[in-house]
Each structure stands twice: as C-alpha cells, then as structure tokens.
Copies of this chain bind each other. A is one copy, B any other.
Amino acid sequence: MIEPALNPESGFRRLRIDLAYDGTNYAGWGIQPDQRTIQGVVEEAISRFVRHPIKSVVAGRTDAGVHATGQVIHVDIPANTVASRYHPDQEIFEPENFKFRINQMLDSDIRLLRVSDAPINFDARYSATARRYRYKLLDGNRDLMPQDRLSAVTWFRELDIELMNQASEQLLGKHDFLTFCRYREGATTLRTLYDFRWSRDAAGFVICDVAADGFGWNMVRNLVGAGVCVGEGRFDPSWMRQILEGAARVSDSYVFPAAGLTLIAVDYPEPESSDLGPILTPTPFGG
C-alpha cells in the first residue's frame, strides 16, 4: 500500500518530539503485527489526540528490550489541532500542553520529554548526524541489585577498562562494520564510529559509550561483546582489529542482551543551520 505523502506546509505542522522509554515490556520501536511496540502506542496516542492517523519518523529504531533516554521522532499533525476537543475555542495548541496530554495517555514507561515546532526540513532520521548509545554492565560476578535489573546486565569475570579502551580505539573512524552486524538484506554496514569508550562509574558499573553516524543491526551489542572478550583477558586488544578485517568474529554468546542498552542522544546540526538538508521523507499520512 502506497500512502500519500503530504507536504507539512499544506495544512500540517511538524513537531519534533524527544522521548524516553523503558523498553522492557515492548517488542522494540518498530510496529509489528500483534506485538506491543513503542511506535505503536506513541502513534496511537498522538492520533487519538489530534483525531487524525499519524505516522512518526524515528532517529534510532531500537530493538526489543532496548531503552532510550534521548530518542527523537518527528510527526506532522494537522495545523488546526486544538488543545482540547471539549473547549476548542478556549485553548490554543501549545507543544508543552500537547506533551502533558499525550503523557497522560501513555503508560509511565514511555515519557515525552520535549515537544517543539520543527523546521519543515527537519527530519528525525535523515537530519541526524550521530546516534549515541550507552551500555551498562556489572562485572566480576557481583550481585545486580533488583533496582538495576532492567537497565544493566551482569558478567562473570572482572573486566579491565584500560585493555578494552586500547582495543576499542582501533575501530574509530569510517569502516565497513559488516562483521559486527547481524545480516539484514540491503542494509549498509559502512559506518563512521565517532566514539567507543569504556569507563567505570561511581557505583562500580562498567559503562560503554558508543557513537556513530548510524549502526547496523545488533552492532552495538557486538561491539560490547568484542570489548568484553578483550577486557576479560580472552584476547589481546589487537583481536578487535582482526574482527573488523574479517579474520575473527564475536561468538554469539558474547552478543550482549538488550536490557543493558540505552539510546541516550541523537545529534543534529544547530537549528539555525541549513544543514538539516532537503525534505527527504515527507511523513506519510493514513492508517
């Protein structure tokens, strides 16, 4: 089914929405038949509020169980949307009020954090210059407090942060990350890795920060697994480079679980900039 592409200038208003979610109870971002997805419940809430079927465009399609504290979407809503269907004459539509109303409709595991009018050439997906992910794990077979169980995972052995950083920095820059990605037909694996860094936070968790212009399927979780292989002393730091060159691979048992992964930010050019580019994907409307 081909949906009509409407120009947001003609009767529509483009909103940028920054949001956060705990992905535990969802089958990921993207809509799937018979599954509860974040895209599904967010679009349903907005559609009910604006009384028009809305489709969103997302910066980072997160997999099942993956969280976000800095996800970004854009939606085009009818320009004549009112703040209240009961008192249409009394209330002017304000993004802040819209945020409050939509949050009232959503479960507390999804929160809109900011809603703002966006330039018509803002595209949550194609204007983004980088996606930033964080992975959180507790090493050395320590007890994961129940309060942390939804956002961090455990690892049996102790990890050496310095060795992991030596390994990881070899991957920075533009490479074909095919060997770090689960295969998906037609998907590019040529990516520029801006950041791949390990640290230990005040509570003792091992934190992995990764940023790139984009990520292949399961790429972050493979990068984390490769780092852990080095950090526990299984392989030398140089082994990381061998994976990239196709001479080694990350064992499936080291592809880390979704629960530890969070999309923490999406980078865009400054709003004043013209770098947002042309409108590449007008949001399609219709059910």
**A residues adjacent to B (C-beta < 8 A):** 20-22, 67, 69, 103, 108-113, 143-147, 149-151
Contact = CB atoms under 8 A, between A and B. Distances in A.
Point out which of A22, A110, A143 has the most chain B C-beta atoms below 10 A from its C-beta: A143
21 contacts: A20-B145, A20-B146, A20-B147, A21-B146, A22-B146, A22-B147, A22-B149, A67-B146, A67-B147, A69-B145, A69-B147, A108-B144, A108-B146, A108-B149, A109-B146, A111-B143, A111-B145, A111-B146, A113-B143, A147-B150, A147-B151
Contacts of A151: 147
Nearest to A23: B146
Nearest to A110: B146
A97 to B, nearest CB: 13
A21 B143 CA distance: 12
How many copies the complex holds: the figure is: 2
Chain A residues touching B, majority SS: mixed
Nearest to A106: B146
Contacts of A147: 20, 22, 67, 69, 150-151
Given A69-B147, A108-B149, A111-B143, 15 more contacts: A20-B146, A20-B147, A22-B146, A22-B147, A22-B149, A67-B146, A108-B146, A109-B146, A109-B149, A111-B144, A111-B145, A111-B146, A112-B143, A113-B143, A147-B151
